[in-house]
A and B are shown apart, each in its own frame.
Chain A
Amino acid sequence: MSERSRMRFVVLAYIAFAGASYAQQTEAIDEVRIDAAMHGAFPKASPDWLARLKGDQTMLACSKSRDTPTAEVARTIAAREGATIQYPPDGRLLGDWKRASISPKAAMVFALPTIRRHGKTVAIATLVTSSRMQR
């Protein structure tokens, strides 16, 4: 075996092993049971939050395939998510950076969901910012 083919063998064996470790080792759990468990685990969550815990079709597809969807599922995801993109009506994708200002839409991020932590209400946007700063 040449050095190169040996390397190739090792890489392929590693990929096969890694793939195997990701396969479901236990019996599958149905969605109803998962939802019931999640609802029970977050008793203080509002209906809005419960919907977020459940996730949308794309998140479910990614969870089910453990982030390695088949080519077909990946195409479905791309098509579905692509259809939700709204381009600016005037067709201009970039603004003038010299006259930069926060658009009302971007400002809304700061009014977006809040979360209860140790009895205080904290905006998620704040958390995201602070976690970025810690990195």
Chain B
Amino acid sequence: MKNIRNKVTAALVLTSALAGTGQAQQSGSDSIARELDTYRSMMKSDPWSNPGMLDVDRGEALWKTPAGPNNISLEQCDLGLGPGKVDGAFATLPRYFTDADRVMDVEVRILWCMERLQGFERVKLLTRPHPSAGTPVKDLGAIATYVAYRSNGRSFSATFSHPKEKEALALGETLFFRRTGPMDFACSTCHGESGKRIRLQPLPFFSRPDEARKILGEWPAYRVSTAHVMTMQHRIYDCFWQMRLPEVGLGSDVSIALISYLVKQADGGEIKIPGMKR
């Protein structure tokens, strides 16, 4: 018994000594990058361990359950491929919708259906539309996560052929590089070159399609640090917040234009919802 304990102790001492030398030999940033990769691959190793899947299920139930003053489900909502067609719809958004005479992303389109089909009040849906840390994504976000999930395995393929789609894209590109607010930030301040990060989170360089494709396909994503699913509209809202700007309205022309630009940069990228983030 004593013998075994000695062996274990020796092994532990040896391991920690080796680990110590290893760390000393590695250059600082390399070892940090490797540790981060391990952390991320552990988070992603089992897709069913992603708590975001709970919101995919919740979103599906919300989509199929009659609700609102009109007490009907969203199953007749037209996401661009015809009423009730969910599979692959997210991959074709944002797009121009004739009935609304506007370019819409997935969240704004669902919002429109909740308003027009189910009879919800737009103002109420847009009051505090994003969750605080530690609380689940709002119903709209859960439905968006479900709809996005049903495009998994497909590629971003929005066409941007309608004049209003082209205009949204051009506005998005202009805004991406436009400095604004008290600190002179533009989106490109953080997303204008490769290899930048904020704390543990690497920042994609969105002018490079390979980086844009990898990241866009992961949103909506489950965020470990805030313990909820974060949608793309919420992501943009939070970027603006970090840029010290006021609260950007969900579904404003600005957020739709920026999402259009990002999706265009990610054209052809595979959709893998929900992603998992720091």
Contact = CB atoms under 8 A, between A and B. Distances in A.
A77 interface: no
A81 interface: no
Contacts of A28: 170, 174
B254 A37 contact: yes
19 contacts: A24-B173, A25-B173, A26-B174, A29-B167, A29-B171, A34-B174, A37-B253, A40-B249, A40-B253, A53-B180, A54-B180, A55-B184, A59-B184, A62-B184, A63-B177, A66-B177, A67-B192, A124-B244, A131-B242
A116 B244 contact: no
Contacts of A29: 167, 170-171, 174
B255 interface: yes
Given A59-B184, A62-B184, A63-B178, 16 more contacts: A25-B173, A26-B170, A27-B166, A34-B174, A34-B178, A38-B180, A40-B252, A41-B248, A42-B245, A42-B248, A55-B180, A63-B179, A67-B188, A115-B246, A116-B247, A131-B242
Contacts of A41: 248-249, 252-255
A49 B171 contact: no
Contacts of B132: 118
Contact of B180 (A33, A40, A59, A124): A59
Contacts of B174: 24, 26, 28-29, 34
A42 B240 CA distance: 11
A27 B180 CA distance: 21
Per CB-CB distance, the 10 closest pairs between chain A and chain B, nearest first, are A41-B254, A41-B252, A26-B170, A63-B178, A37-B253, A21-B207, A59-B179, A29-B174, A45-B246, A42-B246
Given A26-B166, A59-B184, A21 B246 contact: no
Interface residues of A, number: 39
B110 interface: no
B72 interface: no
B259 to A, nearest CB: 12
Chain B interface extent, by class = 35 or more
B182 A26 contact: no
Nearest to A66: B177
B169 interface: yes
A29 B168 CA distance: 10
A21 B174 CA distance: 14
A26 B252 contact: no
Given A26-B173, A52-B181, A53-B180, A37 B166 contact: no
B75 to A, nearest CB: 31
B257 interface: yes
A110 to B, nearest CB: 14
A127 B242 CA distance: 9
Interface in B173-206: 173-175, 177-184, 186, 188, 192, 199
B254 A27 contact: no
A69 interface: no
A131 B182 CA distance: 15
A57 B50 CA distance: 47
A84 to B, nearest CB: 15
A117 to B, nearest CB: 7
Nearest to A65: B177
Contacts of B246: 42, 44-45, 49, 115-116
B39 interface: no
Interface string B148-167: 00000000000000000011
Contacts of B85: none
A87 interface: no
Given A41-B253, A59-B179, A63-B178, A26 B169 contact: yes
A22 interface: yes
Interface in A106-133: 113, 115-118, 124, 127-128, 131
Interface string B6-17: 000000000000
